């Protein structure tokens, strides 16, 4: 009998603002926002505390708009060294409980506690974690407990601040399905309107949607398959942690010298990064079942998004297609980008198999593609990986 996994998702509440209040108790009970403050109040809010949120102030709102909702807000410039310090404290504490810790971002982590409860009840351990972080570092957190990462993440969002929520698959019809589709992890600002346009307004409606062909046409085949599975509580992705037994991930990043606002430059860089990921996967004869991007903005906040798939992916074109989709879905225009990163996770060796060629395949194209790939590989081996690349990178047309 297969043992059900026990996955924690630990989400630090209002992390940047909480770090500031941990350092300065005079801020407790007052509306605080972390943002770059300038005379014209054009800064974007990175983290409002709960006192500020009571006035309707939200992350990514401009400071000048926040002052219209509450004239008494306290604006604090971000201190990334401070936040990194507290994030490291958070991470190191979790590592005292188990080595199976995946830091999803500076303020959240997945923890696989399946074999590390040490005789404790999962809820008791969650309470212990929550109390330790609050007592030791004055940092509140919410914890979701579930049999997989997706449900754990959804659970941690259900009660904030200082919530602990258990979400089992048999309970998703009552606890998760009634939620609006915009609350579902993996459904972003571009996908949500498309889903609502075909009558999917809740997670339950997506889970039970019966016109799969229409769904594929609306959001794409891979996205449709992935989201349907997640809406039904199915997620086999592992907690990715440091392991010397295998290479579980491949990544590459580029840091710009200045904040970049031009999407064409960012996407050109994204293409190059995807090319290097594909090259590295090819070198180790592997494929990945998770492709993700990280965007770090000039105002210090970061975004980390990924898509998971049942089939392995290794081609340059497919990796870029997924990365570009994630970028278009979650990129926030008008904020300069300082770093862009692409990563491939759930990396496994490619199983050799002969592709069955059907009457629909064009033999000439197949042979040309095979010869092109062979020539490309030979040139890269002789003269270096950056010497030549497949020419699917679009160049801007000159009039």
Q: Compute and round to an integer the Cα radius of gyration of the chain.
A: 23
**Are residues 107 and 100 in contact, defined by beta-carbon separation less than 8 angstroms?**
no
Residue 156 corresponds to which tokens in the numbers above? 């941690």
Angle at the Cα of 301 from the Cα atoms of 298 and 302, rounded to 5 degrees: 105
* Cα 2 to Cα 270: distance, rounded to the nearest angstrom: 40
Active site residue 324: no
Neighbours of 375 (CB within 10 A): 11
Q: Which of 51, 102, 108, 287 is catalytic?
A: 108
Angle at the Cα of 343 from the Cα atoms of 342 and 344, rounded to 5 degrees: 140
For the annotated catalytic residues, the residue numbers are 108
């Amino acid at each position: 009998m297969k043992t059900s996994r026990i996955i924690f998702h630990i989400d630090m509440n209002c992390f940047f603002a909480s770090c500031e209040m941990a350092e300065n108790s005079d801020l407790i009970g007052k509306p605080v926002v972390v943002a770059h403050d300038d005379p014209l109040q054009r800064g974007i809010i990175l983290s409002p505390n709960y006192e500020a949120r009571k006035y309707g102030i939200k992350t990514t709102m401009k400071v000048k708009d926040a002052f219209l909702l509450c004239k008494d807000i306290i604006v604090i410039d971000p201190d990334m060294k401070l936040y990194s310090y507290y994030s490291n404290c958070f991470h190191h504490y979790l590592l005292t409980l188990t080595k199976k810790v995946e830091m999803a971002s500076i303020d959240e982590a997945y923890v696989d506690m399946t074999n590390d409860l040490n005789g404790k009840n999962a809820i008791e351990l969650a309470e212990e974690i929550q109390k330790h972080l609050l007592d030791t570092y004055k940092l509140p957190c919410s914890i979701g407990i579930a049999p997989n990462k997706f449900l754990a993440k959804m659970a941690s969002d259900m009660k904030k601040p200082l919530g602990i929520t258990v979400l089992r698959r048999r309970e998703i019809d009552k606890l998760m399905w009634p939620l609006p589709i915009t609350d579902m992890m993996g459904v972003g600002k571009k996908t949500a309107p498309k889903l609502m346009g075909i009558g999917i307004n809740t997670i339950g409606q997506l889970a039970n949607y019966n016109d799969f062909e229409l769904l594929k046409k609306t959001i794409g085949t891979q996205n449709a398959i992935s989201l349907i599975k997640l809406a039904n509580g199915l997620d086999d992705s592992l907690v990715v942690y440091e392991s010397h037994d295998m290479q579980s991930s491949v990544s590459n990043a580029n840091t710009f010298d200045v904040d970049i606002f031009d999407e064409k430059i960012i996407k050109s860089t994204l293409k190059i990064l995807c090319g290097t990921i594909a090259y590295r996967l090819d070198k180790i004869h592997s494929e990945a079942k998770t492709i993700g991007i990280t965007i770090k903005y000039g105002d210090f906040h970061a975004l980390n998004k990924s898509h998971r798939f049942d089939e392995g992916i290794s081609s340059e074109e497919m990796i870029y297609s997924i990365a570009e989709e994630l970028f278009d879905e979650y990129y926030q225009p008008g904020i300069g980008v300082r770093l862009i990163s692409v990563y491939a996770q759930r990396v496994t060796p490619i199983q050799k198999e002969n592709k069955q060629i059907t009457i629909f395949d064009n033999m000439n194209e197949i042979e040309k593609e095979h010869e092109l790939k062979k020539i490309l590989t030979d040139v890269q081996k002789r003269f270096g990986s950056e010497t030549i690349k497949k020419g699917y990178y679009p160049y801007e047309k000159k009039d």
